[in-house]
Structure 1
Amino acid sequence: MDGLGLLEVLAELQIEFVTFPDRGLDRHMGDRDLWNYCQANDLVLLTENRNHENENSLDATIQDSWREGRLPVLTLANKGRFENSPKYAEQVAKDMAELLFTIFHEGVRDRPRIFVPI
């Protein structure tokens, strides 16, 4: 995002990226607890694709807890391509910037999960 100038745009819009250490969170925090933390702190969660392993998985949490007005989860459609293809990573960055603007400045919160790139 930095090479595209998108970080500056997002900073102007007061949208920032944070990590587990930035928030003092345990990297092994359960999916349900993490999702609830993100909702309570107005954070959009970015994750790789996860499955429905149990009742506390991210997928199960979204299914039983998400409703319109809640923040979506942004999910990398293909982590391998994101890590190995600059063009793919650039498209992910552009789509994420657009989605974050739409979510935070236009108030569009109508989908529980959005796969990026769109």
Structure 2
Amino acid sequence: MAKARRTTHRSSTGTKLYAVRDRSGKFKDIQTFKRAHAADLRSKSAEEVVTAEKKAAKKAAAPTPAAKKAVAKKAVVKKAVVKKAAAPKKAVAARPAAKKAVAKKVAVKKAAPKKAAAKKAAPAKKR
């Protein structure tokens, strides 16, 4: 059975609409594109149903993961892992570069007011 053909329209607010007409041409169903698209995604095609059934049958026939692990544990012999002792960390002294950067900032701040004061004290030009 084929799906009814849908035509697209726009509502007065600009929303995309899907409209389905009956044989006489009257509107049978009008849905927003968003709702119709979501419904399409929820429903599955015949091919998807068949492949899902095949996949489920194949999964049921395969051995369980617990059985695989039991077989693998018997075959594998665990090796002892030796961890190295972590070396003690040295205390890090304050970085002198950081101190220099702070000193430069302080010097710049002190120098800025002097320049501003010099501009204010300059005599006004005579005409």
Alignment TM-score > 0.5, same fold: no
Bigger relative contact order, structure 1 or 2, given CA contacts below 8 A and separation 6+? 1
Bigger radius of gyration: 2
Instruction: Quickly name the TM-score band, shorter chain normalised.
Output: under 0.3
- Provide the TM-score with structure 2 as the length reference: 0.18
